[in-house]
Amino acid sequence: MSMARSEWANSLYGKFYGRTPSLMVVQQVMLRIWKIRCSVQVLYLAAGFFCFKFASAEDLNVVMIGGPWFLGGQALLLIPWRINFLPMMERIDSIPVWIIARSPNRIHSERSSNRDS
């Protein structure tokens, strides 16, 4: 059991919110977008879930922290690896939401310039 944990410790599960892209598309596009240093193995599991097995913990952290990640306008939801993960039984009850906040100074200056014209 501990051997399996160490072998898969640098892995994430992922599911796209919406239509599931092909394994080949995920491999080509996500690897280019992530710009990681080492290799990553991409496996299709079932029920729209992929497994991303990273060669380094550093690359895993880059991907986990660096989002949000999109492919064709569809968000990639990432889940840390855990033993006994069953894609067919997995429920996604919530999804993360990213809010891009603009600087108050920028909003103020945009409003000011609109009044001046």
**Domains identified in the chain and CATH numbers:** 2-90 (3.30.70.330)
Pick the more confident residue, 95 or 62.
Answer: 62
Question: How far apart are the C-alpha atoms of 64 and 50, rounded to whole Å?
Answer: 14
Q: What percent of the chain has pLDDT over 70?
A: 69
Question: How far apart are the C-alpha atoms of 29 and 54, rounded to whole Å?
Answer: 16
pLDDT class for 93, splitting at 50, 70, 90?
Answer: low
Whether pLDDT at 3 is above 80: no
Largest CA distance in the chain: 69
Question: How far apart are the C-alpha atoms of 117 and 62, rounded to whole Å?
Answer: 44
pLDDT class for 82, splitting at 50, 70, 90?
Answer: confident
CA 77, distance to chain mean position in Å, is 5
Torsion over CA: 22, 30, 89, 55 (sign): positive
Bond prior to 21 in cis (omega within 30° of 0): no
pLDDT class for 22, splitting at 50, 70, 90?
Answer: very high
pLDDT of residue 114: 44
pLDDT of residue 115: 45
13, 50 contact by CB (below 8 A): yes
Residue 61 per-residue DSSP state: H
pLDDT of residue 7: 79
Instruction: Identify the weakest region by mean pLDDT among 37-46, 63-72, 97-106.
Output: 97-106
pTM of the model: 0.73
